[in-house]
Chains A and B, each alone.
Chain A
Amino acid sequence: MGEVSSVEMNDVREASKRLFRTRCGVRGMWAIYKKELRGYFVSPIAYVVLTVFYVLMGYFFFNFLAIFSEQALYAAYQAAEYGNSPPAMDVPAQVDRNYFGILSTVLIFFLPALTMGMFAEERRRGTLELLLTAPLKDGQIILGKFLAAMTVFLLMLLPTAVFQVVLHRFSDPPMAWGAVLASYIGAVLLGASLISIGVFISSITENQIIAAVLTFGCFLLMWVIEIAARQTGTLMSEVLKYLSVLSHYEDFTKGIVDSGSVLFLVSLCVLGLLFTYHSFISLRWRM
Chain B
Amino acid sequence: MSVIEVQGLTKRYGPVTAIEDLSFQAGEREILGFLGPNGAGKTTTMRILTGFIPASEGNVRLSGFDIREHPWEVKKRIGYLPEIPPLYADMSVDVYLRFVAEIRGTEKARARRRLGEVKELCGLQTVGRTLIRRLSKGYRQRVGMAQAIIHEPEILILDEPTIGLDPKQIIEVRHLIKSLGERHTVLLSTHILPEVSMTCQRVIILNKGKLVAVDTPEGLLRRLQGGERIFIRFRVDRQGPSDGFDPAEVARVPGVRRIVREVLGDSSLVSLELEVEDDQEVRGRLAEYLVGRGWKLQEMRSVNPTLEEIFIRLVTEEPVA
Contacts and interface: CB of A to CB of B under 8 A. Distances in A.
Interface of A: 10, 17, 20-21, 24, 27-28, 31-32, 34-35, 38-39, 42-43, 125-136, 284-287
Contacts of A128: 86
A173 B246 CA distance: 118
A129 B47 CA distance: 9
A133 to B, nearest CB: 4
A121 to B, nearest CB: 9
Nearest to B95: A38
A133 B105 CA distance: 12
A10 B63 CA distance: 11
B100 interface: yes
A130 B100 contact: yes
A20 B87 contact: no
Contacts of A134: 75, 100, 103-104
Contacts of B103: 28, 31-32, 130-131, 134-136
Interface in B45-92: 47, 50-54, 64, 72-73, 75-76, 78, 80, 82, 84-91
A283 to B, nearest CB: 9
B52 A287 contact: yes
29 contacts: A17-B72, A20-B105, A24-B105, A27-B102, A27-B105, A28-B103, A28-B105, A38-B91, A42-B90, A42-B91, A125-B84, A125-B88, A126-B82, A126-B86, A127-B86, A127-B87, A129-B52, A130-B80, A130-B86, A133-B52, A133-B75, A134-B103, A134-B104, A135-B76, A135-B104, A135-B105, A284-B52, A285-B53, A285-B54
B147 interface: yes
A43 B51 CA distance: 31
Contacts of A126: 82, 84-86
A45 B318 CA distance: 57
Contact of B53 (A10, A17, A34, A284): A284
B51 A133 contact: yes
B99 interface: yes
Contacts of A32: 103
A21 B50 CA distance: 19
Nearest to A9: B64
A131 B75 CA distance: 11
Given A132-B52, A135-B103, 9 more contacts: A31-B103, A126-B82, A128-B86, A129-B82, A130-B86, A130-B147, A135-B105, A284-B52, A287-B47
A24 B105 CA distance: 6
B46 to A, nearest CB: 10
Contacts of A286: 13
Contacts of B100: 130, 134
A135 B52 contact: no
Contacts of B80: 129-130, 133
Residue from A130, A131, A133, A135 having most chain B Cβ neighbours under 10 A: A133
Contacts of A17: 72-73
Contacts of A284: 52-54
Contacts of B78: 133
A125 B88 CA distance: 8
Residue from A21, A28, A31, A34 having most chain B Cβ neighbours under 10 A: A31
Contacts of A31: 99, 102-103
A125 B91 CA distance: 14
B131 to A, nearest CB: 9
Contacts of B89: 125
Contacts of A42: 90-91
A138 B71 CA distance: 12
Contacts of B76: 135
A241 B64 CA distance: 56
